[in-house]
Amino acid sequence: MERKKKVLLALDRLCREKAPAGQLEIGFTAQEVAREAGITRSNASGDLNYLVKEGLVVKFPGRPVRFVTRQYWEESKARNGREDTGRMAVQEIEMNPFTSLLGWNSSLKVAVEQARAALLYPPHGLHTLLIGPTGSGKTLFARTMFRYAQTLGRVTGQAQLVSFNCADYAHNPQLLMSQLFGHVKGAFTGAAQEKPGLVDAAHKSILFLDEIHRLPPEGQEMLFYLMDNGQYRRLGETGSYRSCTTLVIGATTADPHSSLLATFYRRFPVVINIPPLAERPLAERLLLLKQLLAGESRQIGRPLKVTADAIRALLLYDCPGNIGQLFNDIRLTCARAFLDATSKGTREVVITAASLPPHVQPRSAAGDNYLQELAGLVLEEEWYIEPDEAGVTAACQVPDLYTLLEKEREANGVESINNEVQWKRARQALEEYYHRYLKETVQDWKNARLRLARLVGQDIIALAQEAIKIAREDLPGQVDTSTFLALALHLNVCRQRLKTGQEIINPYLEEIAKEYPREIEVARKIMALIEKRLNLVLPPDEAGFLAMLFRAGREGKEPAWEPVGVVVMAHGSRTATSMAEVANKLVGTSAALALDVPLEGEPQQWLIEATRVVRQADRGSGVLLLVDMEPLISWGEIIAKRTGLKIHVLDNVTTAMVIEAVRKASRFPLHELVTEIGKYHYLEEYWPLEGQGNKIIVATCLTGEGAARRIKSMIREWLGDREEINIVTVNMNGQVTDSGMGWQALKGKGKLVAVIGSVDLKIPDVPFISLEEWLLGQGRRRLQELLQLPAREQDITPQELEAVLAQYLRFLEPGKMLDLCSQITRQLSQSLGRRLLPHHKINLIVHLSCLVERLQAGEQGSSWPGEEEIKRRYPREWLAVAEALAGLEKNFNITIPTGEIAFMVQFLQET
């Protein structure tokens, strides 16, 4: 069965079996449909949007977006009565597009109520005037009104919002009137043929007129005649009137009493004031900042780190241009920070106060009425924003246990190692999580209890306290403050996952039940409490996660063994001492002892000294001896025979090895500590490389298996027969796939040229090229420069480009967009007589695909500085681009803004 049909049937089953009676607009999320159909959420979402376009499914905007089948929707309307507007209003309170507006239930609450009343009023709604300063969001509000009108059935399913900015033609009133009402042949000089106006296009839809005060008086009179009587004439027309049913939404930045005719102003029964940014609560501005920064992170495809001083400045500076100016200032800020990150070769884009434009400075606190509001806000020290995440997290927020084990499972590889080994590594990962984030990081928090409450909420705090009380009774001596913090964070994530339809799967439940029977019993008792308090149904696997947390509390206590001794021995005057000092200082201990062995001198004398240091280091659990080379490697066996101590030797010592050894010496017995440090230990013979030269490229992914091997294959194909270049695959832990050793071993085999893939190993002085950069071409050019290869044209296969588009697009089909946009690039090449290079084609294809999706989602297209000047200077190119984009507009029933045409013309001029 075709997947799309399967999705439609699944949604139909949900509608008929689970939809609450009398609540038409509730619907079902893509996640719920995916679960019913047994497919992934992304596939379900894409298919549902296709079904919406085909008219088989009705989509309700909001958070989250919901769907019902068209057939069920029509049947429900017939049962409930479509004209019962009072009942309709009640039904639609819980599901309407206005909830997507920031402040819809606070600063915009009155405006939203007015807009809903205007649109609900029979038979066609009330004409509305939006008043507010530039950049306050009037256009977005009008678009949201249109979307709400669609849900009410006030406009036809295929209708579009007809928008017109009266300021564009204010210098030529005749042309403005022609654009608005159309004209007949001969109406004025140059009117060679009859032309319909925007009023024609707005029939049975909504006409949005921005800067409506720029309409000339005669235009205002013609418009209010249309609003009163539903009739109009085209410019120059003298016969009978034309009929048009349309709802007019006007927007103005001026005082309507002085800028509009009194007779015209009275035609707007509903006048809505959109407040400027300065009059909106700081809490809303803070949320707006997060939304805009998250959007920029997605736009550039890189994580953003925003410092506290930058957050405060963006929150408090005078922003007379309102949301529009704030958006532009944030985009400029991100561009500066992006340039800085690119020049430094780092993937993370750091935004500090130095990244901000000069005018973005916090207002003085003296006499500022924001002080009281500011005191009530929770401002994290800094924000960290990932491009594939919808939200923003505080940089101090700890990872959750679900994600921890999912990543550990993925890194281990299900088929590559047996379950016993995987379970052992999972336990170690949990122990690391418990110590690193809850024993170390959380203890450094000031007012940790207050911050935790702000992060998870008082209800989770209260629940965690109840659960800890039970655990303390049944697991004495096993629960402490860190366990409480871990449990509160975990419960918050658990609730979020269940509410968003994410699965909770513990692959180690069987092993946990065998090894931790007491903890499992307590976990199941606490699960009953959680279900009661949070009104949730927990899956059985959740018991495994809770048991692991309680067990971690026990294992977080002092170990039953004494710490392993750590001794660093190396040749040179201060080689070993330097490594030990660095490790001790970073970890905050004095556990590592050092012995610097001179290259000259009597070996037996220094062997005696080494024996003394090893005895000093031993605390009863053995000694880990970290050495550089022979003869020190063989000294371990000699010292063990002389002293009777347990000794293990690892050679080729590095500072990283010493740091790890010191950190973990008190938490693992000797044999397990050796295994832990093994990833930093390597021997030359473990590294047979396929090439003959000394240049090495590292291909990475999470596991070092699937994606990394495909990346390696792509690089090898691109390099051709250059055997002097070696390519190895490495996983997220820095281990080379074939040997299991750390990437550090590669240094002995040649020069590391670049790391390419999905994981940045952060190797000093080695450039990282992301998979996206590689596929889009700029990564290939960078590698070409790094390898000093002769210049050549960069190619990318259609399959590779389609894969790139799939990462950007949410609901459009990548293959279809690739075909359509490729056709546009070919048309531009032919019409302009200019050959576009592959990377220019790729940039255009990705840009146009994302633009179509944004416009279809109701977002506003970008403006471009100097549009009119670009159109004047490059009329031929402007016409060529407009004609090339016409097919795209027709295919998707969208209007591409002139700002996008200006951008493409300028882009083509620069290629």
Cα(272)–Cα(132) distance, integer angstroms: 9
Cα(876)–Cα(879) distance, integer angstroms: 5
Cα(415)–Cα(418) distance, integer angstroms: 7
What mean pLDDT, rounded, does the chain reach? 77
Give how many domains the chain has, as a whole number. Answer: 7
- Domain CATH number, residue 77: 1.10.10.10
Same domain, 170 and 86: no
Same domain, 405 and 550: yes
DSSP of 636-668: HHHHHHHH---EEEE-S--HHHHHHHHHHTTTS
- Write down the pLDDT at residue 88: 39
pLDDT band with cut points at 50, 70 and 90 for residue 161: very high
- Write down the pLDDT at residue 668: 73
- Domain CATH number, residue 148: 3.40.50.300
The pTM assigned to this predicted structure is: 0.40
223 and 184 Cβ atoms separated by less than 8 Å: no
pLDDT tens sequence across 847-883? 888 888 878 777 766 667 778 888 888 888 899 999 9
Q: How many helices (H) and strands (E) does the chain have?
A: 38, 23
- Domain CATH number, residue 608: 3.40.50.510
In a domain, 369, yes or no: yes
Secondary structure (3-state) at 623: strand
- Write down the pLDDT at residue 141: 94
Q: Of 90-94, 151-155, 784-788, which range is least confident?
A: 90-94
**Which of these, 67, 92, 56, lies nearest to 15 by C-alpha position?**
67
**Which of these, 536, 493, 281, lies nearest to 393 by C-alpha position?**
493
Same domain, 662 and 713: no
Q: What are phi and psi of 681, to 5 degrees?
A: -105, 135
pLDDT band with cut points at 50, 70 and 90 for residue 226: very high
Last residue of a domain, one of 509, 532, 555: 555
Q: What are phi and psi of 389, to 5 degrees?
A: -110, 150
| Maximum distance among all Cα pairs of the chain, rounded to whole angstroms | 117
Same domain, 7 and 138: no
CA terminus-to-terminus distance, the chain: 47
Cα(682)–Cα(656) distance, integer angstroms: 13
Cα(148)–Cα(743) distance, integer angstroms: 56
Same domain, 435 and 320: no
In a domain, 270, yes or no: yes
pLDDT band with cut points at 50, 70 and 90 for residue 447: very low
Most confident of 80-84, 352-356, 428-432: 352-356
Last residue of a domain, one of 661, 681, 701: 681
pLDDT tens sequence across 607-624? 889 999 999 998 888 899
- Write down the pLDDT at residue 371: 46
pLDDT tens sequence across 546-565? 888 787 655 444 444 578 89
Q: Of 29-43, 57-71, 280-294, 529-543, which range is least confident?
A: 57-71
Given a cut of 70, whether residue 454 has pLDDT beyond it is: no
Q: What Rg, from alpha-carbon coordinates, does the chain have?
A: 33
Which has the higher per-residue pLDDT, 348 or 153?
A: 348
In a domain, 374, yes or no: yes
Name the residue range of residue 519's domain.
Answer: 401-555
Residue range 216-241: mean pLDDT, rounded: 87
**Which of these, 390, 503, 389, lies nearest to 35 by C-alpha position?**
503
In a domain, 232, yes or no: yes
Q: What angle separates helix 282-300 from helix 308-316, to the nearest 10 degrees?
A: 120
The identity of residue 35, as a single letter, is R
Residue range 626-649: mean pLDDT, rounded: 85
User: Is residue 663 left, alpha or beta, with left meaning phi > 0 and alpha meaning psi from -120 to 50?
Assistant: alpha
Same domain, 246 and 155: yes
In a domain, 707, yes or no: yes
Given a cut of 60, whether residue 432 has pLDDT beyond it is: no
**Which positions ≥6 away from 600 have C-beta within 8 Å?**
none
Given a cut of 50, whether residue 685 has pLDDT beyond it is: no
Cα(732)–Cα(185) distance, integer angstroms: 69
43 and 35 Cβ atoms separated by less than 8 Å: no
- Write down the pLDDT at residue 518: 87
Q: Of 202-211, 414-423, 533-542, which range is least confident?
A: 414-423
Given a cut of 80, whether residue 682 has pLDDT beyond it is: no
DSSP state for residue 205 in the 8-state scheme: E
Query: 């085909």: which residue's tokens?
Result: 54
Given a cut of 80, whether residue 80 has pLDDT beyond it is: no
- Write down the pLDDT at residue 375: 42
**Which of these, 355, 294, 288, lies nearest to 326 by C-alpha position?**
288
Given a cut of 60, whether residue 776 has pLDDT beyond it is: yes
Given a cut of 70, whether residue 196 has pLDDT beyond it is: yes
**Chain length of the chain:** 911
Same domain, 420 and 551: yes
Cα(353)–Cα(596) distance, integer angstroms: 46
- Write down the pLDDT at residue 493: 76
Same domain, 498 and 512: yes
Same domain, 405 and 375: no
Pairing outcome for strands 162-165 and 182-183: unpaired
Same domain, 412 and 551: yes
Cα(697)–Cα(59) distance, integer angstroms: 48
- Write down the pLDDT at residue 198: 92
Residue range 472-486: mean pLDDT, rounded: 73
Same domain, 621 and 717: no
**Which positions ≥6 away from 282 have C-beta within 8 Å?**
315, 370, 373, 374, 377
Which has the higher per-residue pLDDT, 265 or 678?
A: 265
Cα(844)–Cα(846) distance, integer angstroms: 6
Residue range 165-188: mean pLDDT, rounded: 84
Q: Of 49-58, 140-149, 472-481, 575-584, which range is least confident?
A: 472-481
- Write down the pLDDT at residue 244: 92
- Write down the pLDDT at residue 683: 32
Q: Of 1-10, 139-148, 390-399, 513-522, which range is least confident?
A: 390-399
Most confident of 223-232, 571-580, 676-685: 223-232
Does 631 sit behind a cis peptide bond, omega within 30 degrees of 0 on the bond before it? yes
Residue range 196-205: mean pLDDT, rounded: 91
565 and 617 Cβ atoms separated by less than 8 Å: yes
Last residue of a domain, one of 681, 709, 724: 681
- Write down the pLDDT at residue 199: 93
pLDDT tens sequence across 723-751? 678 888 887 656 676 554 555 556 556 78
- Write down the pLDDT at residue 366: 36
- Write down the pLDDT at residue 442: 44
Residue range 881-889: mean pLDDT, rounded: 89
- Write down the pLDDT at residue 410: 52
- Residue 505 to residues 511, 621, 716, 817, Cα–Cα distance (Å): 14, 38, 38, 36
**Tokens (6 digits) for 85:** 């507007």
- Write down the pLDDT at residue 866: 77
Which has the higher per-residue pLDDT, 805 or 890?
A: 890
In a domain, 119, yes or no: no
Given a cut of 50, whether residue 821 has pLDDT beyond it is: yes
Cα(624)–Cα(639) distance, integer angstroms: 12
Q: Of 437-441, 458-462, 508-512, 528-532, which range is least confident?
A: 437-441
In a domain, 113, yes or no: no
pLDDT band with cut points at 50, 70 and 90 for residue 437: very low
Given a cut of 70, whether residue 799 has pLDDT beyond it is: no
- Write down the pLDDT at residue 271: 94
Residue range 235-242: mean pLDDT, rounded: 84
36 and 14 Cβ atoms separated by less than 8 Å: yes
In a domain, 115, yes or no: no
Cα(424)–Cα(542) distance, integer angstroms: 19
Cα(310)–Cα(316) distance, integer angstroms: 10
- Write down the pLDDT at residue 688: 39
Which has the higher per-residue pLDDT, 778 or 704?
A: 778
Pairing outcome for strands 205-210 and 162-165: parallel
Same domain, 548 and 638: no
Given a cut of 60, whether residue 391 has pLDDT beyond it is: no
253 and 67 Cβ atoms separated by less than 8 Å: no
